[in-house]
Structure 1
Amino acid sequence: MMQRYVLDAWALVAFVESEEPAASRVKALLAAAEAGAAELRASVINLGEVYYRIGRKHGARLADETLAELRDLAMEIVSAHDDLVFAAAQLKMRHSISYADAFAAATAVAQRAILVTGDRDFTALADRVQIEWLARR
């Protein structure tokens, strides 16, 4: 079975902002997905998180351009359907994480995927979600 990965907002922002070494790992995962050697996914909620972070820092036009570029990548955007909403809510109920982070984790669990992040808030979920930890300088 092909390895699946879920990119959270932390990983996507690191990629967009070229924050190394995390950006290089995300690029490698994207290349693997383009070659058909891996599957990449991200929750639409986390895509929204990237959008507002880029917009706050660089303005709405760059946020729009970034969103368009992310949508063109070899990465499936996972909708926030009812099952995922309540799975995320259960994680939020039990753990001290943001609701957006809960969506990333719930997406990884539902997709049987490795969550790719550098956000240490996910440490509390390490027993529930397989995590690949990224770093940036």
Structure 2
Amino acid sequence: MSVINWGEVYYTVWRKRGLQAAETVLQQITELRVQVVNADPELTKLAATFHAKYKLPYADCFAAALAQQRRATLATGDSDFARVEKQVKVLWTTEQ
């Protein structure tokens, strides 16, 4: 998980369910041993490329870029990622 998406999870949960819930979610991410990857210039450039080419929301571009960079599967329920299914392997967590 990119640090950008990690931050997005934190602020989204905080906004919807409060600070304590956001802290709990970050603890759960840590317990699941999810690797949080910093946004270095290479990843950021690739994310910017996704943004320019496919018009994904900017934070989503970091998830797509990291998946492509690591040749990993991106698990999501966000239909925006349908735009990049040819560039990134997507595992849909909800029906499309």
Superposition TM-score, scaled by structure 2 size: 0.91
What pairs up with 1:27-42 in 2 under 5 angstroms? 42=1
Superimposed CA distance per residue, residues 39-67 of structure 1 (whole angstroms, 9 cap, x where no aligned partner): xxx11111111101110011112212221
Aligned residue number for residue 128 of structure 1: 87
- The percentage of aligned residue pairs carrying the same residue is 40
Aligned residue number for residue 86 of structure 1: 45
1:107 aligns with one of 66, 70, 74? 66
- Structure 2: gaps of 5 or more residues: none
Aligned residue number for residue 34 of structure 2: 75
Task: Give the structure with the larger helix fraction.
Answer: 2
Aligned residue number for residue 54 of structure 1: 13
Count matched residues. Answer: 95
* Equivalent residue letter for 1:76: Q
Q: SS where residue 39 of structure 2 aligns?
A: coil
After TM superposition, the runs of 4+ consecutive aligned structure 1 residues lying more than 4 A away are none
Q: SS where residue 93 of structure 1 aligns?
A: helix
**RCO higher in structure (CA 8 A, sep ≥6):** 1
Q: Distance in 2 between matches of 1:118 and 1:65?
A: 22
- Structure 1: gaps of 5 or more residues: 1-41
Q: Distance in 2 between matches of 1:112 and 1:47?
A: 19
Superposition TM-score, scaled by structure 1 size: 0.66
